[in-house]
Structure 1
């Protein structure tokens, strides 16, 4: 059993070790010419980048996270192994391409394995709802991995909030989250605009899975309320969910690549990644802090703060939509 009295000293050390190892691995991989050729992200008409960039972020992050979780706490083994499984499947998708049916089946198997491993009593509509939410979180994380520094930043802020919230009540969960946050920091060394590496599906899909799996575990243990993970990752959830609804209403295939996310439109209007990503970091930081503060409040105040934050995100989306229409009308798109 991990001693909760020293967890606050251990968490920064875990994060730092993960960051250093991930950064060192990426530096070594970038020195290998064959690695650059093996997993290149070649720009196309839907891309926001202009240079061929290797998709190797997951190659460094996932092994460090998985090995760290296996060594940190036995309770995290099902989550760690399931994350490794989806990373392996996603690497095939990065390299050769897999059908949406195969990808979704692999995601579903990982989610069900973890959920049933931790809660055999969960069944009925609760099981269906949570499986759906976790599957959506996996895929939206992949959808939102399209800008330099964006997914890495959400990972750092989101899992840092998990680690802080769980530090006293669930040290094993806090340590796992700290490992992910640290790995994200190491990745950002090479993903900060202009990015030298991308996550790739082998990185973004496991991170989305971990966000859902650790969030589910925290709720199951009553470390945090049901809404906590949703609020922590609300910048990603709001952008991806609203964009999905719009695409479905237009009859588009939502799983195909596109450039209609709010963050993508901000980058196109701004002409660079840096400004919009900095703004996104502000939203991520506020979401994380708000979630941590709200946990300590009475139920009524919690829901009031959630509603207020939801209105803020809606107003920001409306403002971006207005700016985008003006951008289109001016003929600059």
Structure 2
């Protein structure tokens, strides 16, 4: 983790720490305080706009540490809309429909203007345009859902803030593993701002997040997790990991929806049957212990997502174990309904405890058993068919694909080379002939990065470095380049202002990498940190020299680029 990323966390933490008391004092003077209802448990006069300090601290941090681009601007605009929606609700109590409208508008800004969505999602047997529409709908649902899920767990002192910090730190560490320092920096900027607020929000709290803070945090977590789809290094990382890490608020929200549906209540109707309420009241643990337990559970789910990068089986076992305990807790505390106890009922078949529900005493289960007895043969055949189908597909995936030739990696000399590129290529040929792998890695990275950032030799729609990128990831890289450095290159070429050219470079480090692409975990990866120097001020990057890290994969004793940090 770079020093700059760590400093961003520290700075937003300090700024938030300073701002919260001032925001709290002004909020009380203006009468913007937390009102009591069926769901609240606080006493006294407490300001409910602590989220304002978080938002302000985050903005200050982004101005200092982040480079603005279309995606960052879209995130900031969407964040502003969601913050205003929550802030207005804190003061005047918006109707659920208007609050939802504000969240959808914020999501659309991110999707349309920022081009941030589940672009990589492909649904089998459906045309690409229909898959795209479905992906957009799912993206809106994800952003709105996570925003509200985070807002719903803001029921105990320090709960929402602490869980959000754990989630953001986990996303930051995971993104660093894939070389995404942009996601890491954005995550820690927000985590630091929340950390400064948490000092005042932990029990007994002197200030609350309010909807302006909880909705903003939820929105940012949802959008940050989607950023990975701009550069598909792993579908699990981009959305699967955040789902696992956010399992506590997600499951609490799903259970709340089911519970209110079962009892014919509106989703917006407050109650005291949330996960944290059950810990505090049903188990009589109090606020602090309940919050610390939920912190621990969130950390365990976070470990699942991080362990998955290195050991999928261990991570899956831990996840399923946690989900089993979660289900047992839900049933034991009657979070959904007193009659909802499927797992406990099944467990009692073996335990035979008088304190657990018995399958013989429940009519629904008795009916199920009777039907199963009559149709046991059909059920058995279906189960056997499913098992054999799974075995077939697993074995099919694991069998060698003899019909498809193994991909080969070639070190090509591109047309219209610059003098530096020609020099690098000649050195590369020499290193290959002598089989000096360390030199080959450095020269492949140097040739790729020089070709990528040099525009003086490019023609319309040409992407530099594409020949040195891993074959299966070239389409992703092309899409990424066109949305980033090459976004306006065609205009520069047309106007003959494409004068950007790398004239020299220096290798800073050459070491093994922790990156592992899905399906290519058994290969070796290397991180090459490199600084390039431009002939003049680069008008796109607005710098004369630029440092980046290129990740290479070694396959068939040759190297190609799989990730570029920009």
Q: TM-score, normalised by structure 1?
A: 0.87
Say which is worse superposed, 218-227 or 13-22, in terms of deviation. Answer: 218-227
Q: 2:57 aligns with which of 54, 64, 69?
A: 64
| Pairing 1:52–2:45 present | yes
The residue correspondences of 1:185-200 to structure 2 (distance < 5 A) are 185-200=195-210
| Pairing 1:229–2:233 present | no
| Pairing 1:285–2:299 present | yes
Note if contact 2:158-2:291 (Cα within 8 Å) is conserved in structure 1: yes
Q: Residue 303 of structure 1: CA displacement?
A: 4.7
* 2:253 aligned partner: 240
* 1:99 aligned partner: 95
Q: 2:83 aligns with which of 76, 87, 96?
A: 87
Q: 1:118 aligns with which of 103, 115, 127?
A: 115
> Residue 194 and residue 261 in structure 1: after superposition, are their counterparts in 2 closer, same or farther (change >3 A)?
same
Q: Residue 30 of structure 1: CA displacement?
A: 3.6
| 3-state DSSP of counterpart to 2:161 | helix
State the distance in 2 between where 1:211 and 1:121 align. Answer: 15
State the distance in 2 between where 1:35 and 1:127 align. Answer: 41
> Residue 318 and residue 84 in structure 1: after superposition, are their counterparts in 2 closer, same or farther (change >3 A)?
same
| 3-state DSSP of counterpart to 2:228 | helix
Larger radius of gyration: 2
* 1:251 aligned partner: 264
State the distance in 2 between where 1:227 and 1:26 align. Answer: 34
RCO comparison, higher one (Cα < 8 Å, 6+): 1
| Pairing 1:20–2:14 present | yes
Say which is worse superposed, 233-242 or 305-314, in terms of deviation. Answer: 305-314
Q: Residue 138 of structure 1: CA displacement?
A: 0.9
Q: TM-score, normalised by structure 2?
A: 0.53
> Residue 119 and residue 54 in structure 1: after superposition, are their counterparts in 2 closer, same or farther (change >3 A)?
closer
State the distance in 2 between where 1:106 and 1:272 align. Answer: 35
Deviations 1:93-140 (A, max 9, x none): 110121222111110111122123224894222221222122111111
> Residue 27 and residue 92 in structure 1: after superposition, are their counterparts in 2 closer, same or farther (change >3 A)?
same
Q: 2:287 aligns with which of 268, 273, 280?
A: 273
Deviations 1:24-67 (A, max 9, x none): 101223444x6354311122343111222111211100122133
* 2:23 aligned partner: 29
Q: Residue 301 of structure 1: CA displacement?
A: 5.8
| 3-state DSSP of counterpart to 1:316 | helix
> Residue 8 and residue 290 in structure 1: after superposition, are their counterparts in 2 closer, same or farther (change >3 A)?
farther
Unaligned runs of 5+ in 1: 1-6, 326-333
Say which is worse superposed, 115-124 or 209-218, in terms of deviation. Answer: 115-124
* 1:328 aligned partner: none
> Residue 62 and residue 250 in structure 1: after superposition, are their counterparts in 2 closer, same or farther (change >3 A)?
same
Note if contact 2:118-2:136 (Cα within 8 Å) is conserved in structure 1: no
State the distance in 2 between where 1:306 and 1:111 align. Answer: 30
State the distance in 2 between where 1:92 and 1:30 align. Answer: 16
* 1:154 aligned partner: 163
> Residue 222 and residue 275 in structure 1: after superposition, are their counterparts in 2 closer, same or farther (change >3 A)?
same
Aligned length: 316
Q: Residue 268 of structure 1: CA displacement?
A: 2.2
| Pairing 1:139–2:136 present | no
Deviations 1:194-245 (A, max 9, x none): 1110000110001110111001112442351431110111111111211221
| Stretches (4+) displaced over 4 A | 300-305
| 3-state DSSP of counterpart to 2:2 | helix
Q: Residue 9 of structure 1: CA displacement?
A: 2.2
RMSD between aligned alpha carbons? 2.2
Note if contact 2:117-2:135 (Cα within 8 Å) is conserved in structure 1: no
State the distance in 2 between where 1:65 and 1:128 align. Answer: 28
Note if contact 1:225-1:295 (Cα within 8 Å) is conserved in structure 2: no
* 2:187 aligned partner: 177
Q: Residue 70 of structure 1: CA displacement?
A: 4.2
Say which is worse superposed, 202-211 or 138-147, in terms of deviation. Answer: 138-147
Note if contact 1:138-1:206 (Cα within 8 Å) is conserved in structure 2: yes
State the distance in 2 between where 1:183 and 1:121 align. Answer: 28
Q: Residue 263 of structure 1: CA displacement?
A: 0.8
> Residue 274 and residue 103 in structure 1: after superposition, are their counterparts in 2 closer, same or farther (change >3 A)?
same
| 3-state DSSP of counterpart to 2:334 | helix
